[in-house]
Amino acid sequence: MQTYLHGRDMITTQEWTKDELDTVIDVALDLKRRRALGEQHALLDNKVLAMLFFFSSTRTRASFEAGMAQLGGHAMFLDSTTTQIGHGDTWKEIGEILGRYDDGIAIRNVDWGIGNKYIRAVAEASRTPVLNMQCDWYHPFQALADLLTVIEQKGDPRNLTFNMSYAYAASYQKPISVPQSVILLMTRYGANVRLTRPPEFKLMPEIVAQSEENAKASHGSFEIIEDFEEGMAGADVVYAKAWGSMLTTSDHEESAKISAKYQDWIVDARRMEMADEDAIYMHPLPADRNVEVADEVIDGRWSRVFDQAENRLHSQKATLLKLAGLLP
């Protein structure tokens, strides 16, 4: 087990070894057990995490704030619109200054073509670890929570058929960061990963290429399917959510027209019955109910969405502890 991660950034899981990721999962399971037993684990006493949000959140803010409090530290919430970022504070000032005030900097910036570059620039300027709470390319903490959920619910991911599928949503062009991080991580763990999506909803070619290489190295598989029900057939895990067609068009009106062609890409009971009889349904939330997924699924026997949401807390706490270098 890799145990020394002091000072590391977490921008994408792809930049950590599998041993390092295994360490995070092991620690997360232990922290989850401790919390269930009511054991105190205030291991980050006097530590402060700066959380800079360019994009609103529910689970991300709540889970990081709760996690830091349970670990005995403090999470400092910063909204980009109420700072001096609009009046001269560049990535240089943010990295240099928050890196001196705080013990870590967490950033959520999903602006297309900007988010990942901004987070990496802050990381270059900061003397403390930088955590990616979601950018335009990656959502590593969601993917870690998803992996933890799969391990708890289905056991070893090796040989599981994992269907990462597009689902219709009429709302804004949602980031592609969740499906990209999910296919990267699940292929690291030997799953048979299906990327099911319409032709206009491609993911970044370099991410797809990395997923293919991951699958080869882990003796899993990776395939792209363009038929919704074909992707569902026999799947052990159905992870279906909307994302934008930004690799096809940056025009929001054109994107809406494209999306409208796929209104039948909804996970309902009939579609879930096509999956394995013990299949589970996953979604990072918030879900567009009865658009992306029917109530009968998200509230039904297949759903593990609230387990996923809870596991954000435990996987993030584990990462915070390991970055702080406080565990042996």
Residues 134 and 189 in one domain: no
Residues 29 and 105 in one domain: yes
Residues 26 and 107 in one domain: yes
Assess if residue 177 is contained within a domain: yes
Cis peptide before 199 (omega within 30 of 0): no
Q: Give the Cα-Cα-Cα angle 146, 175, 300 (nearest 5 degrees).
A: 45
Residues 277 and 221 in one domain: yes
Residues 243 and 303 in one domain: yes
| 8-state DSSP, 273 | T
What is the reported pLDDT for 267? 98
Q: Which of 237, 236, 243, 248 shows the shortest CA–CA distance to 265?
A: 243
Residues 265 and 221 in one domain: yes
Assess if residue 45 is contained within a domain: yes
Contact 292, 167 (CB under 8 A): yes
Q: Is 304 helix (H, G, I), strand (E, B) or coil?
A: coil
Residues 134 and 162 in one domain: no
Identify the domain containing residue 210 by its residue range: 142-308
Assess if residue 199 is contained within a domain: yes
Burial class (CB in 10 A: 0-12, 13-18, 19+), 84: exposed
What is the reported pLDDT for 1? 46
Assess if residue 4 is contained within a domain: no
pLDDT tens track, the chain, 328 positions? 444 567 789 999 999 999 999 999 999 999 999 999 999 999 999 999 999 999 988 999 999 999 999 999 999 999 998 888 877 889 999 999 999 999 999 999 999 999 999 999 999 999 999 999 999 999 999 999 999 999 999 999 999 999 999 999 987 689 999 999 999 999 999 999 999 999 999 999 999 999 999 999 999 999 999 999 999 999 999 999 999 999 999 888 898 899 999 999 999 999 999 999 999 999 999 999 999 999 999 999 999 999 999 999 999 999 999 886 654 4
Q: Which of 148, 141, 186, 185 shows the shortest CA–CA distance to 33?
A: 148
Assess if residue 8 is contained within a domain: no
Burial class (CB in 10 A: 0-12, 13-18, 19+), 111: middle
What is the reported pLDDT for 156? 97
Assess if residue 7 is contained within a domain: no
Contact 167, 285 (CB under 8 A): no
Assess if residue 3 is contained within a domain: no
What CATH number is given to the structural domain containing 26?
3.40.50.1370
Look up the pTM and report it: 0.95
Domain total in the chain: 2
Assess if residue 256 is contained within a domain: yes
**Which single residue is written with the structure tokens 């705080």?**
102
Residues 71 and 170 in one domain: no
Burial class (CB in 10 A: 0-12, 13-18, 19+), 179: buried
Residues 290 and 151 in one domain: yes
Residues 128 and 189 in one domain: no
Question: Where would I find the beta strands (DSSP E) of the chain?
Answer: 48-53, 74-79, 104-109, 130-135, 161-166, 192-196, 221-225, 237-241, 280-282
Residues 121 and 254 in one domain: no
Q: Which of 7, 139, 1, 5 shows the shortest CA–CA distance to 63?
A: 139
Residues 105 and 242 in one domain: no
Q: Is 20 helix (H, G, I), strand (E, B) or coil?
A: helix
